[in-house]
Amino acid sequence: MRPLLEVSDVKIEFSHSSGPSTAVDGVTFDVHEGECVGIVGESGSGKSVTARSVLRLLPSAGKMTSGRIAFEGEDVLGMSELRLREFRGGDVGMVFQDPMSSLNPVIRVGPQIEEAMLYHSRYGGQEAKSRVVDLLARVQVPDPRMRSRAYPHQLSGGMRQRVMIAMAYANEPRLLIADEPTTALDVTVQAQILRLLRELGREFGTAVILITHNLALVADLCDRVVVMYAGRVVEQGPCREVISNPQHPYTWALLETARQMGAKGRKLFAIPGSPASAKDRIHGCRFHPRCAFAVDRCRDQEPPLIDLGGGREARCWVLMQNVSPDLTRGTPQ
Amino acid sequence: MNNAIDSDSMALVKVDNLVVHFHLGVGLLNAKKVIHAVDGVSLELESGQTLGLVGESGCGKSTLGRALVGLQRATAGRIYFRGVDVAQVKSKALRELHKHIQMVFQDPVASLNPRMTVEDIIGEPLRNYRVASGLERRSLVSKALEACGLSRDMMHRFPHEFSGGQRQRVGIARALVLRPAFVVCDEPVSALDVSVQAQILNLLEDLQDQLGLTYLFISHDLAVVRHVAHRVAVMYLGKLVEVAACEELYARPLHPYTKAMLVSSPGLERDERSNERALLKGDIPSPVNPPSGCRFHTRCPIAQFPKCQMEEPPLLRNGTDHWVACHFPGKA
CA distance A104 to A96: 14
Average pLDDT over residues B155-179: 94
> Which pLDDT value is given to residue B28?
65
pLDDT of A330 above 60: no
> Which pLDDT value is given to residue A333?
38
Q: What confidence tier does B289 reach under pLDDT thresholds 50, 70, 90?
A: confident
Q: What confidence tier does A157 reach under pLDDT thresholds 50, 70, 90?
A: confident
What is the tens place of the pLDDT at every residue in A208-222?
Answer: 999 999 998 999 889
pLDDT of A97 above 60: yes
A39 HSE (CA, 13 A, CB side): 29
> Which pLDDT value is given to residue B2?
42
Complete DSSP assignment for B17-80 = EEEEEEE---HHHHTT-EEEEEEEEEEEE-TT-EEEEE--TTSSHHHHHHHHTTSS--SEEEEE
Mutation to test the B interface, candidates A185, A227, A248, A261, most B Cβ within 10 Å: A261
What is the tens place of the pLDDT at every residue in B28-67?
Answer: 666 678 889 999 999 999 999 999 999 988 899 999 999 9
- Which CATH number fits the domain B13-100+180-324, given the four candidates 3.40.50.300, 3.30.830.10, 3.40.50.970, 3.20.20.70? 3.40.50.300
> Which pLDDT value is given to residue B277?
67
> Which pLDDT value is given to residue B213?
96
DSSP-derived letter for residue B291 is P
Q: Which strands make up the sheet holding A224-229, listed edge to edge?
A: A92-95, A175-179, A207-212, A36-40, A224-229, A232-238, A312-314, A306-309
Under an 8 A CB cutoff, do A216 and B266 touch? yes
pLDDT of B184 above 50: yes
Under an 8 A CB cutoff, do A264 and B165 touch? no
Which residues of chain A from 56 to 85 reach within 8 Å of chain B, CB to CB? Answer: none
| Residue of chain B minimizing CA distance to A161 | B283
Angle of helix A157-169 relative to helix A109-119, nearest 10 degrees, comes to 20
> Which pLDDT value is given to residue A259?
86
pLDDT of A207 above 80: yes
| Residue of chain B minimizing CA distance to A257 | B198
Taking contacts as CB-CB distances below 8 angstroms, the residues of chain B near A142 are: 282
Can you give the pTM of this predicted structure?
Answer: 0.89
Under an 8 A CB cutoff, do A268 and B227 touch? yes
Taking contacts as CB-CB distances below 8 angstroms, the residues of chain B near A280 are: none
- 3-class DSSP assignment, residue A100: helix
CA angle B110, B114, B120 (to 5 degrees): 110
Taking contacts as CB-CB distances below 8 angstroms, the residues of chain B near A277 are: none
* Interface A:B, Cβ pairs < 8 A: 130
Query: Who among A261, A271, A274 is closest to B223 (CB)?
Result: A261
CA distance A235 to A316: 9
- Any idea which of A17-26, A59-68, B108-117, B292-301 has the lowest mean pLDDT? A17-26
Four-residue CA torsion sign, B158, B159, B160, B164: positive
Under an 8 A CB cutoff, do B266 and A159 touch? no
Q: What confidence tier does B6 reach under pLDDT thresholds 50, 70, 90?
A: very low
**B→A interface, C-beta within 8 Å:** 56-57, 163-166, 193-199, 201-202, 205, 220-224, 226-227, 246-247, 260-261, 263-270, 274-275, 277, 279-284
CA distance B281 to B299: 6
The ipTM assigned to this model is 0.85
- Give me the helices (H) in chain B, please: 27-30, 61-68, 91-98, 118-128, 134-147, 164-176, 194-211, 222-228, 246-251, 256-264, 307-310
> Which pLDDT value is given to residue B331?
83
Between the CA of residue A72 and those of A75, A87, A135, B98, B188, what are the distances in Å? 9, 11, 26, 64, 45
Under an 8 A CB cutoff, do B202 and A268 touch? yes
Taking contacts as CB-CB distances below 8 angstroms, the residues of chain B near A255 are: 268
> Which pLDDT value is given to residue A260?
87
Taking contacts as CB-CB distances below 8 angstroms, the residues of chain B near A270 are: 195, 198-199, 202
- Give the length of chain B: 332
Q: What confidence tier does B5 reach under pLDDT thresholds 50, 70, 90?
A: very low
Element at A75 (helix H, strand E): strand A74-75
Residue B214 phi, psi dihedral angles, 5° rounding = -110, 130
> Which pLDDT value is given to residue A91?
95
Average pLDDT over residues B133-157: 94
**Could you tell me the residue ranges of all domains in chain B?**
13-100+180-324
- Is the minimum CB–CB distance between A142 and chain B shorter than 8 Å? yes
CA distance B195 to B42: 35
Under an 8 A CB cutoff, do B266 and A258 touch? no
pLDDT of B217 above 50: yes
CA-nearest of B292, B299, B230 to B259 is B299
> Which pLDDT value is given to residue B309?
94
Under an 8 A CB cutoff, do A214 and B194 touch? yes
Query: Who among A192, A257, A261 is closest to B279 (CB)?
Result: A192
What is the tens place of the pLDDT at every residue in A103-130?
Answer: 999 999 999 999 999 998 888 889 999 9
Q: Are B257 and B236 in contact (CB under 8 A)?
A: yes
Under an 8 A CB cutoff, do B266 and A190 touch? yes
Q: Are A38 and A224 in contact (CB under 8 A)?
A: yes
- Counting residues of chain A whose pLDDT is more than 70, the rounded percentage is 98
Element at B287 (helix H, strand E): none
pLDDT of B7 above 60: no
Mutation to test the A interface, candidates B199, B268, B279, most A Cβ within 10 Å: B268
> Which pLDDT value is given to residue A18?
83
Taking contacts as CB-CB distances below 8 angstroms, the residues of chain A near B199 are: 270-272
CA distance A171 to A166: 9
- 3-class DSSP assignment, residue A59: coil
Which residues of chain A from 158 to 177 reach within 8 Å of chain B, CB to CB? Answer: 158-159
Complete DSSP assignment for A103-131 = S-TTS-HHHHHHHHHHHTTSS-HHHHHHH
CA-nearest of B272, B314, B169 to A219 is B272
Q: Looking at CA atoms only, how far is residue B134 from chain A in angstroms?
A: 32
Under an 8 A CB cutoff, do B202 and A271 touch? no
Taking contacts as CB-CB distances below 8 angstroms, the residues of chain B near A186 are: 56-57, 220, 283-284
- 3-class DSSP assignment, residue A153: helix
Query: Who among A42, A186, A257 is closest to B57 (CB)?
Result: A186
What is the tens place of the pLDDT at every residue in A139-149?
Answer: 989 889 999 99
> Which pLDDT value is given to residue B302?
92
| Residue of chain A minimizing CA distance to B198 | A270
Q: Are A54 and A28 in contact (CB under 8 A)?
A: no
What is chain A's mean pLDDT, rounded?
91
Under an 8 A CB cutoff, do B275 and A195 touch? yes
CA distance A127 to A117: 10
Which residues of chain A from 194 to 213 reach within 8 Å of chain B, CB to CB? Answer: 194-195, 198, 213
